[in-house]
Amino acid sequence: MTEFQNDQELLALFKDPSTKERAFTDIIKKYQEKLYWHIRRMVITHEDADDVLQNMFIKVWKGLESFREDSQLYTWLYRIATNESLTFLSQQKKRSSISLSDDENGLANKLKSDTQFDANKLEWKLQLAIQSLPEKQRVVFNLRYYDEMPYEEMSHVLETSEGALKASYHHAAKKIENYILNN
Amino acid sequence: MENKSTKISEELNEIAPFLAKMERVNVFQVPTDYFSYLKEKILTQIFIEQDEKNNLQKVPEGYFDSLSDQILSKIKMQKNESASEEIKSLSPALHYLKEEQTFTVPENYFDNLSERILDRINNRRTKVVSISSVQKWQKYAAAAVVAGVIAISALLTINHKSSNNEVASKNVPGYVKEASQYQTAEELNEGISSLSDDDIVNYLQSTGNILDEETITKNLDAKDLPTPDEYLIDENALNNFLKKTSDESDKNIQ
Protein backbone atom coordinates (compact mmCIF):
# COMPACT_ATOMS: atom_id res chain seq x y z
CA MET A 1 0.00 0.00 0.00
CA THR A 2 1.30 3.42 -0.94
CA GLU A 3 1.97 5.87 1.86
CA PHE A 4 0.12 9.11 1.37
CA GLN A 5 0.91 12.49 2.80
CA ASN A 6 -1.36 13.73 5.53
CA ASP A 7 -4.40 15.75 4.59
CA GLN A 8 -2.96 19.10 5.71
CA GLU A 9 0.03 18.66 3.42
CA LEU A 10 -2.17 17.54 0.54
CA LEU A 11 -4.42 20.57 0.99
CA ALA A 12 -1.43 22.90 1.02
CA LEU A 13 -0.13 21.30 -2.20
CA PHE A 14 -3.58 21.64 -3.77
CA LYS A 15 -3.56 25.39 -3.15
CA ASP A 16 -0.28 25.78 -5.05
CA PRO A 17 -1.09 25.80 -8.81
CA SER A 18 2.14 23.99 -9.67
CA THR A 19 1.29 21.00 -7.46
CA LYS A 20 -2.49 21.21 -7.63
CA GLU A 21 -3.11 18.26 -9.94
CA ARG A 22 -0.58 16.06 -8.21
CA ALA A 23 -2.16 16.78 -4.83
CA PHE A 24 -5.60 16.08 -6.23
CA THR A 25 -4.45 12.78 -7.71
CA ASP A 26 -3.09 11.81 -4.32
CA ILE A 27 -6.33 12.76 -2.59
CA ILE A 28 -8.27 10.59 -5.04
CA LYS A 29 -5.88 7.68 -4.64
CA LYS A 30 -5.87 7.99 -0.87
CA TYR A 31 -9.64 7.89 -0.50
CA GLN A 32 -10.97 6.29 -3.70
CA GLU A 33 -11.51 2.81 -2.31
CA LYS A 34 -13.12 3.83 0.96
CA LEU A 35 -15.44 6.25 -0.82
CA TYR A 36 -16.16 3.84 -3.64
CA TRP A 37 -17.34 1.17 -1.23
CA HIS A 38 -19.37 3.63 0.78
CA ILE A 39 -21.13 4.74 -2.42
CA ARG A 40 -21.40 1.23 -3.83
CA ARG A 41 -23.23 -0.02 -0.75
CA MET A 42 -25.70 2.79 -1.21
CA VAL A 43 -26.32 2.61 -4.97
CA ILE A 44 -25.55 -1.14 -5.39
CA THR A 45 -24.33 -1.43 -8.97
CA HIS A 46 -20.77 -0.72 -10.04
CA GLU A 47 -21.83 1.52 -12.92
CA ASP A 48 -23.86 3.78 -10.65
CA ALA A 49 -21.11 3.81 -8.03
CA ASP A 50 -18.56 4.79 -10.68
CA ASP A 51 -20.81 7.63 -11.87
CA VAL A 52 -21.42 8.99 -8.40
CA LEU A 53 -17.76 8.65 -7.40
CA GLN A 54 -16.44 10.50 -10.46
CA ASN A 55 -19.01 13.25 -10.16
CA MET A 56 -18.35 13.70 -6.49
CA PHE A 57 -14.61 14.11 -7.11
CA ILE A 58 -15.33 16.70 -9.78
CA LYS A 59 -17.31 18.61 -7.16
CA VAL A 60 -14.47 18.11 -4.69
CA TRP A 61 -12.10 19.71 -7.21
CA LYS A 62 -14.28 22.80 -7.32
CA GLY A 63 -15.06 22.90 -3.64
CA LEU A 64 -11.62 22.13 -2.28
CA GLU A 65 -10.44 25.71 -2.89
CA SER A 66 -12.95 26.99 -0.41
CA PHE A 67 -12.68 24.04 1.94
CA ARG A 68 -12.42 25.33 5.48
CA GLU A 69 -9.86 23.42 7.41
CA ASP A 70 -11.83 23.55 10.63
CA SER A 71 -13.40 20.32 9.47
CA GLN A 72 -11.50 17.22 8.48
CA LEU A 73 -10.98 16.44 4.81
CA TYR A 74 -11.89 12.82 5.48
CA THR A 75 -15.28 13.55 7.03
CA TRP A 76 -15.95 16.23 4.42
CA LEU A 77 -15.36 13.71 1.61
CA TYR A 78 -17.66 11.21 3.28
CA ARG A 79 -20.30 13.89 3.60
CA ILE A 80 -20.13 14.70 -0.11
CA ALA A 81 -20.15 11.00 -1.02
CA THR A 82 -23.20 10.41 1.19
CA ASN A 83 -25.09 13.41 -0.16
CA GLU A 84 -24.24 12.55 -3.75
CA SER A 85 -25.40 8.97 -3.27
CA LEU A 86 -28.66 10.01 -1.66
CA THR A 87 -29.27 12.61 -4.36
CA PHE A 88 -28.57 10.00 -7.01
CA LEU A 89 -31.01 7.59 -5.41
CA SER A 90 -33.75 10.17 -5.13
CA GLN A 91 -33.30 11.20 -8.77
CA GLN A 92 -33.44 7.59 -9.81
CA LYS A 93 -36.53 7.09 -7.70
CA LYS A 94 -38.19 10.03 -9.41
CA ARG A 95 -37.33 8.72 -12.86
CA SER A 96 -38.66 5.25 -12.12
CA SER A 97 -41.61 6.25 -9.96
CA ILE A 98 -44.02 4.72 -12.45
CA SER A 99 -42.50 1.27 -12.48
CA LEU A 100 -41.35 1.08 -8.86
CA SER A 101 -43.44 1.73 -5.82
CA ASP A 102 -40.47 2.64 -3.60
CA ASP A 103 -36.72 2.78 -3.82
CA GLU A 104 -36.19 0.00 -1.29
CA ASN A 105 -37.79 -2.32 -3.77
CA GLY A 106 -35.67 -0.91 -6.53
CA LEU A 107 -32.46 -1.45 -4.59
CA ALA A 108 -33.47 -4.95 -3.55
CA ASN A 109 -34.16 -5.73 -7.21
CA LYS A 110 -30.77 -4.37 -8.15
CA LEU A 111 -29.19 -6.69 -5.58
CA LYS A 112 -31.10 -9.63 -6.94
CA SER A 113 -29.98 -8.93 -10.48
CA ASP A 114 -26.29 -9.06 -9.48
CA THR A 115 -24.68 -12.00 -11.25
CA GLN A 116 -23.29 -13.28 -7.95
CA PHE A 117 -26.60 -13.02 -6.10
CA ASP A 118 -27.52 -16.09 -4.08
CA ALA A 119 -30.62 -15.80 -1.90
CA ASN A 120 -29.46 -18.69 0.27
CA LYS A 121 -26.18 -17.09 1.20
CA LEU A 122 -26.12 -15.15 4.42
CA GLU A 123 -24.01 -12.34 3.01
CA TRP A 124 -26.69 -11.60 0.41
CA LYS A 125 -29.42 -11.80 3.00
CA LEU A 126 -27.44 -9.23 4.92
CA GLN A 127 -27.43 -6.93 1.89
CA LEU A 128 -31.19 -7.35 1.44
CA ALA A 129 -31.66 -6.63 5.14
CA ILE A 130 -29.63 -3.43 4.86
CA GLN A 131 -31.76 -2.27 1.94
CA SER A 132 -34.89 -2.80 4.01
CA LEU A 133 -33.73 -0.11 6.46
CA PRO A 134 -34.86 3.50 6.23
CA GLU A 135 -32.34 5.59 4.26
CA LYS A 136 -30.71 7.41 7.17
CA GLN A 137 -30.40 4.27 9.27
CA ARG A 138 -28.84 2.53 6.30
CA VAL A 139 -26.14 5.19 6.03
CA VAL A 140 -25.45 5.03 9.78
CA PHE A 141 -25.29 1.25 9.70
CA ASN A 142 -22.91 1.17 6.72
CA LEU A 143 -20.59 3.82 8.18
CA ARG A 144 -20.32 2.02 11.50
CA TYR A 145 -20.45 -1.60 10.38
CA TYR A 146 -18.25 -1.45 7.31
CA ASP A 147 -16.23 1.72 7.71
CA GLU A 148 -15.95 1.34 11.49
CA MET A 149 -16.32 5.08 11.82
CA PRO A 150 -16.26 6.49 15.38
CA TYR A 151 -19.54 8.16 16.32
CA GLU A 152 -17.74 11.43 16.84
CA GLU A 153 -16.60 11.54 13.20
CA MET A 154 -19.93 10.25 11.97
CA SER A 155 -21.62 13.13 13.72
CA HIS A 156 -19.62 15.48 11.46
CA VAL A 157 -20.46 13.52 8.33
CA LEU A 158 -24.19 13.31 9.01
CA GLU A 159 -24.57 16.41 11.20
CA THR A 160 -26.42 14.41 13.84
CA SER A 161 -25.70 13.99 17.55
CA GLU A 162 -23.59 11.04 18.67
CA GLY A 163 -26.36 9.75 20.93
CA ALA A 164 -28.88 9.70 18.10
CA LEU A 165 -26.39 7.95 15.82
CA LYS A 166 -25.66 5.30 18.42
CA ALA A 167 -29.35 4.66 19.02
CA SER A 168 -29.90 4.50 15.27
CA TYR A 169 -27.07 2.00 14.79
CA HIS A 170 -28.24 -0.27 17.60
CA HIS A 171 -31.74 -0.20 16.21
CA ALA A 172 -30.50 -0.98 12.71
CA ALA A 173 -28.26 -3.85 13.83
CA LYS A 174 -31.11 -5.49 15.73
CA LYS A 175 -33.49 -5.07 12.80
CA ILE A 176 -30.97 -6.57 10.41
CA GLU A 177 -30.31 -9.53 12.69
CA ASN A 178 -34.03 -10.19 12.96
CA TYR A 179 -34.42 -9.93 9.21
CA ILE A 180 -31.65 -12.46 8.62
CA LEU A 181 -33.00 -14.86 11.22
CA ASN A 182 -36.56 -14.68 9.90
CA ASN A 183 -35.92 -14.79 6.17
CA MET B 1 -71.41 -27.65 75.86
CA GLU B 2 -72.61 -31.07 76.70
CA ASN B 3 -75.94 -30.15 75.50
CA LYS B 4 -74.56 -29.07 72.17
CA SER B 5 -72.41 -32.19 71.71
CA THR B 6 -75.35 -34.42 72.57
CA LYS B 7 -77.50 -32.59 70.12
CA ILE B 8 -74.93 -33.11 67.32
CA SER B 9 -74.61 -36.87 68.16
CA GLU B 10 -78.34 -37.25 68.18
CA GLU B 11 -78.61 -35.47 64.93
CA LEU B 12 -75.99 -37.73 63.25
CA ASN B 13 -77.67 -40.79 64.78
CA GLU B 14 -80.89 -39.78 63.12
CA ILE B 15 -79.27 -39.18 59.75
CA ALA B 16 -76.70 -42.03 59.67
CA PRO B 17 -76.90 -44.34 62.63
CA PHE B 18 -74.00 -46.53 61.44
CA LEU B 19 -71.64 -43.57 61.12
CA ALA B 20 -72.63 -42.30 64.55
CA LYS B 21 -71.62 -45.58 66.16
CA MET B 22 -68.17 -45.77 64.40
CA GLU B 23 -65.08 -45.14 66.51
CA ARG B 24 -63.41 -41.84 65.72
CA VAL B 25 -59.74 -42.33 64.68
CA ASN B 26 -57.37 -39.58 63.37
CA VAL B 27 -55.59 -41.07 60.38
CA PHE B 28 -53.26 -38.04 59.97
CA GLN B 29 -49.96 -37.84 61.77
CA VAL B 30 -48.01 -34.78 63.01
CA PRO B 31 -44.18 -34.72 63.55
CA THR B 32 -43.16 -35.24 67.22
CA ASP B 33 -43.07 -31.97 69.17
CA TYR B 34 -44.36 -30.09 66.16
CA PHE B 35 -46.58 -27.96 68.25
CA SER B 36 -43.97 -27.48 71.03
CA TYR B 37 -41.64 -25.52 68.74
CA LEU B 38 -44.18 -23.98 66.40
CA LYS B 39 -44.11 -20.63 68.09
CA GLU B 40 -40.27 -20.39 67.91
CA LYS B 41 -40.29 -21.41 64.27
CA ILE B 42 -42.75 -18.72 63.34
CA LEU B 43 -40.89 -16.05 65.25
CA THR B 44 -37.53 -17.03 63.68
CA GLN B 45 -39.03 -16.81 60.18
CA ILE B 46 -40.38 -13.37 60.90
CA PHE B 47 -36.98 -12.25 62.13
CA ILE B 48 -35.13 -13.59 59.07
CA GLU B 49 -37.49 -11.84 56.69
CA GLN B 50 -37.13 -8.61 58.58
CA ASP B 51 -33.35 -8.89 58.43
CA GLU B 52 -33.34 -9.46 54.68
CA LYS B 53 -35.48 -6.41 54.22
CA ASN B 54 -33.03 -4.36 56.27
CA ASN B 55 -30.13 -5.66 54.22
CA LEU B 56 -31.81 -4.67 50.96
CA GLN B 57 -31.92 -1.11 52.14
CA LYS B 58 -28.24 -1.13 52.99
CA VAL B 59 -25.52 0.12 50.56
CA PRO B 60 -21.96 -1.24 50.50
CA GLU B 61 -19.56 0.97 52.37
CA GLY B 62 -18.11 3.82 50.29
CA TYR B 63 -20.51 3.01 47.41
CA PHE B 64 -21.55 6.58 46.77
CA ASP B 65 -18.00 7.88 47.08
CA SER B 66 -16.87 5.98 44.00
CA LEU B 67 -20.13 5.94 42.06
CA SER B 68 -19.38 8.95 39.84
CA ASP B 69 -15.95 7.53 38.94
CA GLN B 70 -17.46 4.20 38.06
CA ILE B 71 -20.09 5.76 35.82
CA LEU B 72 -17.57 8.00 34.09
CA SER B 73 -15.20 5.15 33.36
CA LYS B 74 -18.07 3.13 31.95
CA ILE B 75 -19.07 5.99 29.66
CA LYS B 76 -15.47 6.36 28.56
CA MET B 77 -15.26 2.69 27.81
CA GLN B 78 -18.45 2.79 25.79
CA LYS B 79 -17.33 5.85 23.90
CA ASN B 80 -14.06 4.24 22.92
CA GLU B 81 -15.67 0.95 22.20
CA SER B 82 -14.48 0.02 18.75
CA ALA B 83 -17.02 -0.67 16.05
CA SER B 84 -16.02 -4.32 15.94
CA GLU B 85 -16.36 -4.79 19.71
CA GLU B 86 -19.69 -3.06 19.54
CA ILE B 87 -21.14 -5.24 16.80
CA LYS B 88 -19.73 -8.32 18.50
CA SER B 89 -21.79 -7.58 21.57
CA LEU B 90 -24.79 -6.34 19.58
CA SER B 91 -24.98 -9.20 17.15
CA PRO B 92 -22.26 -11.86 16.89
CA ALA B 93 -23.80 -13.08 13.64
CA LEU B 94 -23.34 -9.70 11.98
CA HIS B 95 -19.79 -9.50 13.30
CA TYR B 96 -18.99 -12.77 11.61
CA LEU B 97 -20.76 -11.85 8.38
CA LYS B 98 -18.74 -8.70 7.92
CA GLU B 99 -15.82 -10.49 6.34
CA GLU B 100 -17.96 -12.03 3.60
CA GLN B 101 -17.48 -10.38 0.21
CA THR B 102 -20.57 -9.75 -1.86
CA PHE B 103 -19.94 -7.04 -4.44
CA THR B 104 -17.22 -7.28 -7.06
CA VAL B 105 -15.34 -4.49 -8.83
CA PRO B 106 -13.99 -4.69 -12.39
CA GLU B 107 -10.31 -5.57 -12.41
CA ASN B 108 -7.91 -2.61 -12.25
CA TYR B 109 -10.82 -0.23 -11.78
CA PHE B 110 -8.94 1.82 -9.19
CA ASP B 111 -5.64 1.91 -11.09
CA ASN B 112 -6.44 4.80 -13.39
CA LEU B 113 -9.50 6.30 -11.73
CA SER B 114 -7.70 9.53 -10.82
CA GLU B 115 -6.53 10.00 -14.42
CA ARG B 116 -10.04 9.53 -15.73
CA ILE B 117 -11.41 12.07 -13.27
CA LEU B 118 -8.67 14.60 -14.03
CA ASP B 119 -9.28 14.13 -17.76
CA ARG B 120 -12.92 15.00 -17.26
CA ILE B 121 -12.02 18.04 -15.16
CA ASN B 122 -9.49 19.28 -17.74
CA ASN B 123 -11.86 18.73 -20.66
CA ARG B 124 -14.55 20.71 -18.97
CA ARG B 125 -12.11 23.41 -18.04
CA THR B 126 -10.87 23.97 -21.59
CA LYS B 127 -14.45 24.21 -22.75
CA VAL B 128 -15.58 26.81 -20.27
CA VAL B 129 -12.55 28.50 -18.75
CA SER B 130 -12.34 31.15 -21.49
CA ILE B 131 -15.90 32.15 -20.77
CA SER B 132 -15.75 32.01 -17.01
CA SER B 133 -12.54 34.06 -16.78
CA VAL B 134 -13.60 36.95 -19.04
CA GLN B 135 -15.56 39.99 -18.00
CA LYS B 136 -19.25 39.68 -17.46
CA TRP B 137 -20.19 41.83 -20.49
CA GLN B 138 -18.02 39.66 -22.68
CA LYS B 139 -19.92 36.62 -21.51
CA TYR B 140 -23.14 38.34 -22.49
CA ALA B 141 -21.74 39.31 -25.85
CA ALA B 142 -20.37 35.85 -26.58
CA ALA B 143 -23.64 34.22 -25.65
CA ALA B 144 -25.55 36.80 -27.66
CA VAL B 145 -23.42 36.19 -30.75
CA VAL B 146 -24.03 32.47 -30.64
CA ALA B 147 -27.69 32.99 -29.86
CA GLY B 148 -27.95 35.54 -32.64
CA VAL B 149 -26.34 33.29 -35.22
CA ILE B 150 -28.72 30.53 -34.30
CA ALA B 151 -31.68 32.87 -34.36
CA ILE B 152 -30.82 34.48 -37.68
CA SER B 153 -30.04 31.23 -39.39
CA ALA B 154 -33.25 29.75 -38.10
CA LEU B 155 -35.18 32.77 -39.34
CA LEU B 156 -33.49 32.69 -42.70
CA THR B 157 -33.88 28.97 -43.10
CA ILE B 158 -37.59 29.51 -42.75
CA ASN B 159 -37.54 32.46 -45.13
CA HIS B 160 -35.31 30.68 -47.58
CA LYS B 161 -37.72 27.82 -47.82
CA SER B 162 -40.70 30.04 -48.44
CA SER B 163 -40.62 30.99 -52.12
CA ASN B 164 -42.75 34.10 -51.56
CA ASN B 165 -39.98 35.82 -49.66
CA GLU B 166 -37.34 36.20 -52.34
CA VAL B 167 -36.15 39.57 -51.08
CA ALA B 168 -34.68 38.04 -48.00
CA SER B 169 -32.55 35.56 -49.89
CA LYS B 170 -31.43 38.16 -52.45
CA ASN B 171 -30.31 40.77 -49.99
CA VAL B 172 -28.70 38.70 -47.30
CA PRO B 173 -24.93 38.80 -46.90
CA GLY B 174 -22.86 35.75 -47.82
CA TYR B 175 -22.25 34.52 -44.32
CA VAL B 176 -25.94 34.51 -43.58
CA LYS B 177 -26.62 32.52 -46.75
CA GLU B 178 -23.97 30.18 -45.52
CA ALA B 179 -25.71 29.87 -42.19
CA SER B 180 -28.99 29.00 -43.84
CA GLN B 181 -27.50 25.94 -45.50
CA TYR B 182 -27.18 24.16 -42.17
CA GLN B 183 -29.99 21.70 -41.87
CA THR B 184 -29.18 20.00 -38.58
CA ALA B 185 -28.01 21.24 -35.20
CA GLU B 186 -24.71 19.40 -35.64
CA GLU B 187 -23.99 21.11 -38.95
CA LEU B 188 -24.88 24.42 -37.44
CA ASN B 189 -22.58 23.86 -34.46
CA GLU B 190 -19.74 22.95 -36.78
CA GLY B 191 -20.39 26.07 -38.80
CA ILE B 192 -20.39 28.24 -35.71
CA SER B 193 -17.14 26.82 -34.43
CA SER B 194 -15.46 27.52 -37.77
CA LEU B 195 -16.31 31.25 -37.58
CA SER B 196 -13.33 33.53 -36.99
CA ASP B 197 -13.42 36.46 -34.55
CA ASP B 198 -13.53 38.86 -37.51
CA ASP B 199 -16.56 37.10 -38.91
CA ILE B 200 -18.30 37.54 -35.62
CA VAL B 201 -17.36 41.22 -35.35
CA ASN B 202 -18.53 41.85 -38.93
CA TYR B 203 -21.69 40.03 -38.23
CA LEU B 204 -22.36 42.01 -35.08
CA GLN B 205 -21.69 45.34 -36.88
CA SER B 206 -23.83 44.57 -39.88
CA THR B 207 -26.74 43.16 -37.96
CA GLY B 208 -26.74 45.78 -35.25
CA ASN B 209 -30.29 46.70 -36.15
CA ILE B 210 -31.53 43.23 -35.34
CA LEU B 211 -29.33 42.28 -32.45
CA ASP B 212 -28.89 45.68 -30.83
CA GLU B 213 -28.14 46.33 -27.21
CA GLU B 214 -31.80 46.51 -26.40
CA THR B 215 -32.40 43.04 -27.76
CA ILE B 216 -29.45 41.72 -25.85
CA THR B 217 -30.58 43.21 -22.58
CA LYS B 218 -34.13 42.16 -23.22
CA ASN B 219 -33.19 38.59 -23.95
CA LEU B 220 -30.39 38.22 -21.49
CA ASP B 221 -30.92 38.47 -17.82
CA ALA B 222 -27.93 38.06 -15.54
CA LYS B 223 -30.07 35.96 -13.26
CA ASP B 224 -30.81 33.53 -16.09
CA LEU B 225 -27.22 33.18 -17.17
CA PRO B 226 -25.79 29.88 -15.95
CA THR B 227 -22.89 30.29 -13.55
CA PRO B 228 -19.51 28.71 -14.33
CA ASP B 229 -20.30 26.23 -11.55
CA GLU B 230 -23.33 25.09 -13.46
CA TYR B 231 -21.32 24.52 -16.62
CA LEU B 232 -19.04 22.29 -14.63
CA ILE B 233 -21.85 20.31 -13.13
CA ASP B 234 -24.07 20.05 -16.15
CA GLU B 235 -22.70 19.93 -19.66
CA ASN B 236 -26.09 20.87 -20.99
CA ALA B 237 -26.45 24.03 -18.91
CA LEU B 238 -25.04 26.29 -21.60
CA ASN B 239 -26.90 24.54 -24.41
CA ASN B 240 -30.19 24.79 -22.57
CA PHE B 241 -29.59 28.43 -21.88
CA LEU B 242 -28.73 29.20 -25.47
CA LYS B 243 -31.73 27.31 -26.73
CA LYS B 244 -33.98 29.32 -24.45
CA THR B 245 -32.36 32.60 -25.52
CA SER B 246 -32.57 31.79 -29.20
CA ASP B 247 -36.22 30.84 -28.84
CA GLU B 248 -36.88 34.18 -27.23
CA SER B 249 -35.01 36.19 -29.88
CA ASP B 250 -36.84 34.24 -32.58
CA LYS B 251 -40.08 35.37 -31.08
CA ASN B 252 -38.88 38.96 -30.82
CA ILE B 253 -37.61 39.06 -34.37
CA GLN B 254 -40.80 37.66 -35.81
pLDDT tens across B66-104, in order?
Answer: 878 877 776 666 666 788 888 888 888 888 888 887 888
Contacts of B86 in chain A (CB under 8 A): 144, 169
Residues of chain B with Cβ-Cβ distance to A172 below 8 Å are: none
List, as ranges, residues 143-202 from B with C-beta within 8 Å of A.
none
CA distance B200 to B149: 9
Which of B84, B115, B121 lies closest to A61 in CB terms?
Answer: B121
**Option in A44, A123, A144 nearest B97 (CB):** A123
Q: What is the ipTM of this complex?
A: 0.78
Q: Tell me the range of A30-44, B9-23, B150-164, B217-231 where mean pLDDT is highest.
A: A30-44
| Rounded mean pLDDT, A18-37 | 92
Cα B201 to Cα B205: distance, rounded to the nearest angstrom: 6
CA A79 to chain B, closest CA, distance in angstroms equals: 18
Chain A residues whose beta carbon lies within 8 Å of the beta carbon of residue B104:
46, 116
Whether the CB of A179 is below 8 Å from some CB of chain B: the reply is no
Question: DSSP string covering chain B, please?
Answer: -HHHHHHHHHHHHHH-HHHHHSPP-------TTHHHHHHHHHHHHHHHHHHHHHHHT---TTHHHHHHHHHHHHHHHHHT--HHHHHHHH-HHHHHHTT-------TTTTTTHHHHHHHHHHHHHHHHHHHHHS-HHHHHHHHHHHHHHHHHHHHHHHHHH-TT-HHHHHHS-HHHHHHHT--SHHHHHHHHHH--HHHHHHHHHHTTTTS-HHHHHHH--TTTSPPHHHHHH-THHHHHHHHHHHHHHHHHH-
Does B75 contact A at CB distance below 8 Å? Answer: no
Find all residues with CB under 8 Å of B210, minimum gap 6, and list them: B148, B152, B253
- The model carries a pTM of 0.53
**Cβ of A59 and B233 within 8 Å?**
yes
